[in-house]
Amino acid sequence: MARGSAPSAIDSTASALLSTYRPQQAPIGVSRRFPSPSLSRYLPFAPHGLRVTMAMPTVLRLKAPSFQTVSAVGFIWIFIFVGFTYWDVGPPRKDASNTFDRVKGQTDPELQSLQPIALGARYFLDYPLAPPYRDIFGQLGQRARILRSWIDELEADIHDSKSKNEKDRETVAELVERVTVSLFPYLKSPGGEKSPQYPPPLADIRTRIGLKNNGTTTTSSKSPSAGIVIPTGDKTLRFACHLIASLTRVHKTQLPIQVVYAGDKDLSAKGRRALQEAGDGRKIELLDVLTVFDDSTLKLAEGGWAIKPFAALASQYDQVILLDADTVFLQDPTQLLEQDRYKETGVMLFHDRLLWKNGFAERQDWWHEQLKHPSKETEKSLVWTERYSEEGDSGLVLVDKTRLDVLIGLLHIGWQNSNDVREEWTYKITYGDKETWWIGFEATESTYAFSPHYGGIVGWLKDEEGEKREEKKELSVCSFVIAHVDQTDTLLWYNGGLLKNKIVNQTAFEVPTHWMIDQEWHKGSSKREMSCMTGTVAKNLTQDEKSILSKAIDVAKEVDEKFGLIDWSA
C-alpha cells in the first residue's frame, strides 16, 4: 500500500488483517523475544501482509484521523507484537534440537532437499525410542530405513560439484551421524568422545556422507575384499582349530581368515597362538572386538552368540563369510561368493529345520506384529505363512557391507544382540542370535536372500534300515547336524563339527554316509539323542565328499594332539 492512501483504504486493510489473523503456537525450541526497533531485517521472514505495517507512521501524520483509523493502527501494532513474540526472528541456536538454519532451507533451492533431513534428524534426536524393547523392533527398523534414505541423499549431494553450501551440508551430515549413534549406541568410539577412532561401520557412514575420519577424508577406491571371519573364544577353541586346519590344509582356500574375540578373558593368549599355528603357515588375523566397539552396552565377553554380528561389522573385509567354529565344509567356501542369490542381494542366509508347526504362538504373533511390511522373501517363508517355529541357521552368514542397505540391516542385527535387548527379549523369544539376522534385514527393508531349501541332514541310515531298506518305503537318516546345499543342490556345508556327537564323546570321529533334504524332520528328545529326517530318498555321499571329510578328520586329530585340545572332563 502506498503512503498517503485514504483512511478508508487503511480501514479496510486493517479489517482484512484482523479478520484473517489466527494466533499460532510457537514452534518447539523457538525463543520468544520482542523485535528490535529496526524491523527491516525481519521482513523477509514475516507472514504475508506485514510489510504494510511499515507505512503506519506516515498514516499517523494524516490530518484528522478517524477513530477507526487509530484503532486499526493500534490493532496492527498489537498484531506485530504478538506475531514477533511467537516468531523466532533471531539466529537459530546451536543445540541438540536446532543445528540447521531452517530459514535458509526454505529460501535456498540448493538446500531444500536437506531441510527435511535436518527436521527428521532433530525429531529422532528429541524423541528417542525407549524400552520395553519388544515393542520397538519394527520402529527401530523404520527409523533405520529413513536413516538410509538420508545417507543416500547426502552421498548423492557430495557428487554434485555445483553445490555452494558445503558448510550447511556438513551441518546436516553431522546431524545424521548423531542420529546413527543415537539409534545404535555401540557405535560410540571405545576411546570416548575425544578419540579420533571411529568403528568401521560409522567410519563408512561418515565417508558416505562426506565427513572426515582422523582428520582426513576416508574416500577409498580400493577394490572390495572378501574373507572368512570366525568368532571364537576358549570355549570353542578346539572346533575353531579344526575349522582353520580344514580350510587351509584340506580345501586350501585362498580366502584370508580372521578370528574375532572379545578380550583376553574370552580368548587367552595361548588360544590365540594355537589358532595361528593351526593355519599351517597361513597368516591368521586376530581382532579383539572390544577395541572396536563401546562394550558398555554390549558385554560381549559374556554374550556367547552375541559377538557374531559385531565380528562381521568390525571385520576389515567388505564381503564377510561369517562362520561358527563348528562349521564343516564339503567345498571351498569361495563357492559361496558365486551363488546367484548372494550376488543379486548382497546377503545369503540359510534356513533352519522345519520343526514344531504352531508350536510357539507368542513368537509368531510378535513377528507379525513387528514386521508390518513383509518382503517377498518373507512372504514365501513356510515359517511366516504356515507358522513353523525355526527360520534361520546362523552357522554361516554371507554379507556384502559395501551395500548400504546391508550395512544398515547389520546395525539393526547388532542392536538386537546388544546386552539389554538380548537379555530382555531377543534371547527369550528365540534361540540365541539365529533369528536376528533375517529380522534385522526385514525390519530395515534391506535386500537379502535365503537358500531355497530348509535345512537337511548329513548322517547315517538307521541301523535296522541298513539291513531292511529294500523292504521299506521310507528311510531315515540320523545325526546331530544340519546340512545345506549350494544352488546346484550339491552338499556345501553343515554345522556341528566333525565329531559324531560332540556332547557325548570327545574323541569319536566318523565320516557320514548319507544325506537328505526337503523331507520330514523328527527332533531328538535331547541333545544326546540323534535327530532324524525321514523320507523316500536318501542320497549317498560321493567318494570325493567322503575323502574331504576323512582328510578333515585327520588334520583335526593332529591339531588336537599338538595343542592338547581334548577336554577329557567333558
pLDDT tens-place string over residues 502-529: 988 999 999 999 999 999 999 998 888 9
Q: What is the pLDDT of residue 192?
A: 66
Average pLDDT over residues 367-390: 95
Q: Which of 448, 467, 498 is the last residue of a domain?
A: 448
Domains contained in the chain, number: 4
96 occurs within a structural domain: no
Distance CA 570, CA 567 (A): 6
CA distance 145 to 150: 9
Per mean pLDDT, which range of 176-180, 321-325, 469-473 is the poorest? Answer: 469-473
Q: Report whether 383 contacts 439 (CB < 8 A).
A: no
What integer pLDDT is reported at residue 213 of this predicted model? 81
Pick the last residue of a domain from 217, 246, 269: 217
Residue 107, Cβ neighbours under 10 Å: how many?
A: 11
**348 and 268, same structural domain?**
yes
Q: How many CB atoms lie within 10 A of CB 330?
A: 25
278 and 179, same domain (yes or no):
no
Tell whether 67 and 193 lie within a shared domain: no
Q: Is residue 24 part of a domain?
A: yes
pLDDT of residue 158: 79
Counting beta carbons within 10 angstroms of the beta carbon of residue 125, is it exposed (0 to 12), middle (13 to 18) or buried (19 or more)?
middle
For the cut 70, the answer to whether the pLDDT of residue 161 exceeds it is: no
Identify whether residues 107 and 76 lie together within a single domain. no
The H or E element containing residue 130 is none
- Assess if residue 499 is contained within a domain: yes
Kindly state whether residues 230 and 205 are assigned to the same domain: no
Q: Are residues 438 and 549 in the same domain?
A: no
For residues 196 and 279, membership in a common domain is answered with no
Instruction: Dump strand ranges (E) for 197-354.
Output: 212-213, 216-217, 226-231, 257-261, 284-288, 319-323, 328-329, 347-351
pLDDT of 67 strictly over 90: no
DSSP symbol at 257: E
311 lies in the same domain as 401: yes
pLDDT band at residue 463 under the 50/70/90 scheme: confident
Kindly state the percentage of the chain with pLDDT values over 70.
Answer: 74
The residue that leads in pLDDT, 170 or 50, is 170
Is the per-residue pLDDT at 79 higher than 60?
no
Asked if pLDDT for residue 91 goes beyond 60, the answer is no
Give the model's pLDDT for residue 167. 85
**What mean pLDDT comes out for the span 75-95?**
50
pLDDT of residue 201: 96
Q: Which of 87, 82, 81, 73 is nearest to 45 (CA)?
A: 87
Amino acid letter at 475?
L
What's the confidence (pLDDT) of residue 74?
A: 63
Q: 190 and 311: one domain?
A: no
| pLDDT, average across residues 152-169 | 78
What is the sign, positive or negative, of the torsion defined by CA atoms of 191, 194, 195, 199?
A: positive
Among 60-64, 404-408, 461-465, the minimum mean pLDDT is found in 60-64
For the cut 60, the answer to whether the pLDDT of residue 98 exceeds it is: no
**Which has the minimum average pLDDT: 70-74, 208-212, 261-265?**
70-74
Same domain (yes/no): 49, 176:
no
Assigned C-alpha cell, 202: 560409522
Q: What is the CATH number of the domain that holds 264?
A: 3.90.550
Over residues 207-235, the mean pLDDT reads 76
Share of the chain above pLDDT 90, in %: 68
CA–CA gap between residue 315 and residue 303 (Å, rounded): 18
Phi/psi at 490 (5° precision): -105, 140
Question: Is the per-residue pLDDT at 60 higher than 90?
Answer: no
Residue 397 host element (H or E): strand 392-400
Digit-coded pLDDT (tens) for 205-215: 999 999 988 64
Looking at residue 470, what is its pLDDT? 56
Q: Note the pLDDT tens digit of each residue in 385-401.
A: 999 999 999 999 999 99
Rounded-to-integer distance, Cα 313 and Cα 343, Å: 19
Q: Which domain holds residue 366?
A: 226-448
Q: Is pLDDT at 110 greater than 80 in this prediction?
A: no
* In a shared domain, residues 438 and 467: no
Q: Which segments of 237-339 are extended strands (E)?
A: 257-261, 284-288, 319-323, 328-329
How many C-beta atoms surround the C-beta of residue 219 within 10 A? 10
Q: Is the pLDDT of residue 435 over 80?
A: yes
| Same domain, yes or no: 75 and 25 | yes
The mean predicted confidence, pLDDT, of the chain is 83
